[in-house]
Every structure is written in C-alpha cells, then in structure tokens.
C-alpha cells in the first residue's frame, strides 16, 4: 500500500441515511481519490492473481464500477448481473428473499460459454443476500464460482456466512 494511505480514512460515515438509525458507509470519496482507488484495484488484482478467474462479474450497480475497473486492470472480460428487464437477449434469472419480499437478478444466458471461472465483485457486503443470489445465478448460467471480492464489509450483519463455501471472500475494509 502507498505509504500513509489507509483506505478506511477515505470512506465517509453518514449517520441516519437512508433512514434514522442507519450509519451509511459512503465509498464515493474513496472512488474519487486517485491514489485510494488505484490501491483498491491493486489489492483486488492480487486476489485475481491468486484465484485465476476467467471473468469478473459485477452486481448492479456499484459492482459495475468496481468490476469494470478490476477487469480492465487484469485484462479480463466483465459480465454484468442486473435487475430484471435490463439485459437484451435470453437471460437466466434467480429470485431471492429480501427482509421484506423478494427480488430477482438476471444474467445473459450465454455469459459463461465453456464453464468460465468467475469472481463475483461488489462494492459492499452487508447481509449477503444479493451476493449469495449472484453465486446461484453464476452456477445456473454455467459458470464456475471461484470467489468473492468486496471493497467494504459490514461484518456485524453476517453476510459472509450466507455465501457458499469453500469459496474465498476478500473484503478490503471490514467494519465490525
């Protein structure tokens, strides 16, 4: 890491957002800091060296920011996972439970021709529901999950426990 650069120092805490009692961890100051953002991508690139994915999958929407930057840096392709109705052509989808209700994620059905090794990337791991659903989606679409990468993790929400084992989970900043 660059001398004196602590990624956590570039994350802004916003109390009572989006509702009272929530402490929101705003990663946008980190993203707009060139040295900080380069450090994020450098560290995640090291994970790619260890796991050897064929493709990077990013979860809508901030996972697109992290995932495309990482994919470009390590010279891999990028595959978006989106909310329903946003992708052209045939799609594979998975429904998953939320705290109140359900949601759905979709991927283009031909994204993993040949059983590609896939690293799932997002900005934040919280409760883990979306990332776990993405893992199911990767498998349903014919990909081979090789791990997860997050810029930040809210460990107190237990999201890591919802992700399928034995796949590695890397979070650059962990909040208790």
For the annotated catalytic residues, the residue numbers are 62, 99
Contact between 133 and 96 under an 8 Å Cβ cutoff? The reply is: yes
| Alpha-carbon gap, residue 120 to 70, rounded angstroms | 11
Closest CA to 44 of 175, 176, 144, 168: 168
How many angstroms separate the CA atoms of 16 and 20, rounded? 4
Handedness of CA 88, 146, 150, 72 (dihedral sign): negative
């Amino acid at each position: 890491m660059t001398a004196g650069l602590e990624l956590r120092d570039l994350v802004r805490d916003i109390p009572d957002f989006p509702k009272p009692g929530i402490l929101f961890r705003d990663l946008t100051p980190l993203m707009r800091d060139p040295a900080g953002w380069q450090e994020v991508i450098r560290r995640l690139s090291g994970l790619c060296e260890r796991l050897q994915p064929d493709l990077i999958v990013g979860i809508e929407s901030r996972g697109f920011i992290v995932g495309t930057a990482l994919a470009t840096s390590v010279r891999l392709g990028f595959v978006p996972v989106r909310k329903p109705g946003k992708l052209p052509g045939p799609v594979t989808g998975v429904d998953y439970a939320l705290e109140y209700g359900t949601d759905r994620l979709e991927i283009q059905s031909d994204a993993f021709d040949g059983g590609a090794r896939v690293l799932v990337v997002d900005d934040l791991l919280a409760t883990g529901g979306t990332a776990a659903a993405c893992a199911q989606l990767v498998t349903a679409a014919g990909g081979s999950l090789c791990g997860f990468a997050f810029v930040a993790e809210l460990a107190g929400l237990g999201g890591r426990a919802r992700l399928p084992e034995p796949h590695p989970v890397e979070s650059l900043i962990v909040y208790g």
